[in-house]
Structure 1
Amino acid sequence: MYTIKHAAELVGVSVSTLRAWERRYDLIAPRRTDAGYRLYDADSVRALITMRGLVLAGWSARQAAEETRRRTADRSPLKPPAALHGPAPNGDIEALVRVAEDFDVTGLATVLDHEFSTASFEAVADGWLLPAMRQLGLAWESGRVTVAAEHLVSEGVVRRLNAAFEASGAAARGPRVLVGLPAGARHEVALLAFAVATRRAGLATTYLGADVPTAQWAAAATLGHAVCVVLAVSMPEDVVVLEDVVESLAAAHPALLVAVGGGLQDHAPQSCLRLGHEIGSAAAHLASQLSARSPFDLE
Structure 2
Amino acid sequence: MMIKNESFSIRQVIELTGISEFTLRGWETRYKAFKPKRSPTGRRIYSQDDIQKARLLQSLVEKGYKIGNIAKLDLSDLEKILPQQQAAGFNTTPPNKHLEDIYKIMDLAHLYKWEEISDILHKKRRDSKPEIYISDILTPLAGQIGKLVAAEQMSVGQEHILSAYIKEQLILVQSDIKRPKSQSRLVMTTPEGDLHDMGISFASSLSRLKGLQTLFLGPSTPKKDLSETCLRYKATHLLISSTVSQKEGAKESLFSYVNFLDRNLPVKMAFLLAGRNAAQLDLNLDRDVTIFSSMGEFQSYLKNLP
Residue among 291, 294, 297 paired with 1:274: 291
Distance verdict in 2 for CA 1:200–1:95, change over 3 Å: same
Show the 5 A alignment for 1:14-163. 89-92=97-100, 93-163=102-172
Distance verdict in 2 for CA 1:89–1:212, change over 3 Å: farther
TM-score (norm 2): 0.59
Could you tell me which residue of structure 2 aligns to residue 261 of structure 1? 274
Please tell me the root mean square deviation across aligned C-alpha atoms, in Å: 2.6
Distance verdict in 2 for CA 1:133–1:173, change over 3 Å: closer
Relative contact order higher in (CA < 8 Å, ≥ 6 apart): 1
Paired AA for residue 91 in structure 1: L
Report the secondary structure of 1:206's partner residue.
strand
Percent identity reads 16
Could you tell me which residue of structure 2 aligns to residue 285 of structure 1? 301
Distance verdict in 2 for CA 1:114–1:190, change over 3 Å: farther
Distance verdict in 2 for CA 1:97–1:88, change over 3 Å: closer
Q: Contact (CA 8 Å) 1:174, 1:202: kept in 2 or not?
A: no
Distance verdict in 2 for CA 1:148–1:95, change over 3 Å: same
Q: Contact (CA 8 Å) 2:223, 2:261: kept in 1 or not?
A: no
Q: What's the CA shift string for 1:46-81, capped at 9, x where partnerless?
A: xxxxxxxxxxxxxxxxxxxxxxxxxxxxxxxxxxxx
2:180 and 2:208 mapped to 1: Cα distance? 7
Could you tell me which residue of structure 2 aligns to residue 207 of structure 1? 216
Task: Report the count of equivalent residues.
Answer: 203
Q: What's the CA shift string for 1:167-198, capped at 9, x where partnerless?
A: 43551443111011111222222221111111
Q: What's the CA shift string for 1:94-117, capped at 9, x where partnerless?
A: 233223212223122112113323
Distance verdict in 2 for CA 1:286–1:210, change over 3 Å: same
Report the secondary structure of 2:167's partner residue.
helix
Distance verdict in 2 for CA 1:165–1:181, change over 3 Å: farther
User: What displacement does 1:151 show?
Assistant: 1.2
Could you tell me which residue of structure 1 aligns to residue 46 of structure 2? none
TM-score (norm 1): 0.60
Distance verdict in 2 for CA 1:89–1:193, change over 3 Å: farther
Show the 5 A alignment for 1:155-194. 155-194=164-203
1:138 and 1:152 mapped to 2: Cα distance? 16
Identify unmatched segments of 5+ residues in structure 1: 1-86, 292-299
User: What displacement does 1:200 show?
Assistant: 1.6
1:244 and 1:111 mapped to 2: Cα distance? 43
User: What displacement does 1:275 show?
Assistant: 3.0
Q: Contact (CA 8 Å) 1:89, 1:124: kept in 2 or not?
A: no
User: What displacement does 1:202 show?
Assistant: 2.3
1:107 and 1:137 mapped to 2: Cα distance? 21
Report the secondary structure of 2:276's partner residue.
coil
Distance verdict in 2 for CA 1:287–1:252, change over 3 Å: farther
Identify unmatched segments of 5+ residues in structure 2: 1-94
The worse-fitting range, judged by mean Cα deviation, of 133-142 and 221-230 is 133-142
